[in-house]
Structure 1
């Protein structure tokens, strides 16, 4: 089960990394051949980055809520 969870998290992380690369290349003016314009490349890179970050953050938030580890609960790691 842990392997499946790891694979589910690896794919969005790879896409987010590729999004960062696309944004960096667009910022420095290097156009990838599949895109027609640098602005399109930057927007798609930004979308990939935000989408990957959103998925990973949602996964961690869902896991913490499931285990009752979110701030404000009775039994969590933040209470004194």
Structure 2
């Protein structure tokens, strides 16, 4: 039962950023659509771009996608699925005491 609850919490930790990213995308889409739709309205003297909704959507989208992308990256790094340049750096091995170091 404990494993089921921990897996449910892990799924929720991925669903919430995914929903935030989707909502952010919708906010950006709606802000752009409303701006371009106002060009066809002859009663408006100048179209108004809702910058705050667009920026909020952009931030939500970046945070959500960044969280999910980071989670996938670190999971793949743990399972050694990434290319060598993305693998964790290991400290250099200290020299052994009894080894010859290229001298006499």
Structures share fold, TM-score greater than 0.5: yes
Deviation beyond 4 Å, 4+ runs, structure 1:
none
Say yes or no: does 1:57 pair with 2:62: no
Say yes or no: does 1:17 pair with 2:22: yes
SS in 1 for 2:56: helix
The answer for unaligned runs of 5 or more in structure 1 is 31-36, 74-80
- Considering only aligned residues, what root-mean-square deviation do their CA atoms show, in Å? 1.8
Q: How does 1:1-80 map to 2 (within 5 A)?
A: 1-29=6-34, 38-72=50-84
Pick the structure with greater CA Rg.
Answer: 2
TM-score (norm 2): 0.59
Instruction: Note the alpha carbon deviations across 1:34-78, whole angstroms, 9 max, x for none.
Output: xxx7101001101100110000000011111112221238xxxxx
Aligned length: 67
Give the equivalent residue in structure 1 for 2:89: none
SS in 2 for 1:68: coil
TM-score (norm 1): 0.75
